[in-house]
Copies of this chain bind each other. A is one copy, B any other.
Amino acid sequence: MSGKEIRRSMPLFPIGTVMQLTELTARQIRYYEEHQLISPARTDGNRRLFSLNDIDSLLEIKDLIDQGVNMAGIKQLFLVKEQQSNVVQQQAEKAKQELSDEQLRNLLRHELQQAGRFNRSSLRQGDMSRFFH
């Protein structure tokens, strides 16, 4: 939960770069922040600095908007997704301590079915990979 995430959440990009990367206007990006769909960091001088995670989120937002989802909908989706990944994570952790290998396999299989039924769009994530490597 730290090694990888610390880096992808590192504030690196000014809004201009993000505009190009996402093809969103500054207005749109700020509006989505206003509605708490993202929370970019700030420099000492109050300029926004976006992380790779922020950009992933923005690309996802753009996608959802194209599909007619409104702010409230997107917020809910993000919430649920966060919860889900928390659940999966915590349970995986709990499982590691408490369960036998056999039991663990069963649990994971269940979780994954759940995710597949619902979390659909999370498979399209990590879109930033299109910019690097």
Contact = CB atoms under 8 A, between A and B. Distances in A.
Interface of A: 4, 7-8, 10, 12-14, 16-17, 21, 43, 49, 52, 130-133
A130 B6 CA distance: 10
B8 A13 contact: no
A131 B10 contact: yes
A17 to B, nearest CB: 5
Given A10-B131, A52-B132, A132-B52, A16 B4 contact: no
Contact of A13 (B7, B17, B132): B17
Contact of A8 (B4, B17, B133): B133
Contact of A14 (B8, B14, B130, B133): B14
B49 A7 contact: no
A46 to B, nearest CB: 13
Contact of A12 (B10, B13, B49, B130): B13
A14 B21 CA distance: 14
Contacts of A13: 12-13, 17
Contact of A49 (B17, B131, B133): B17
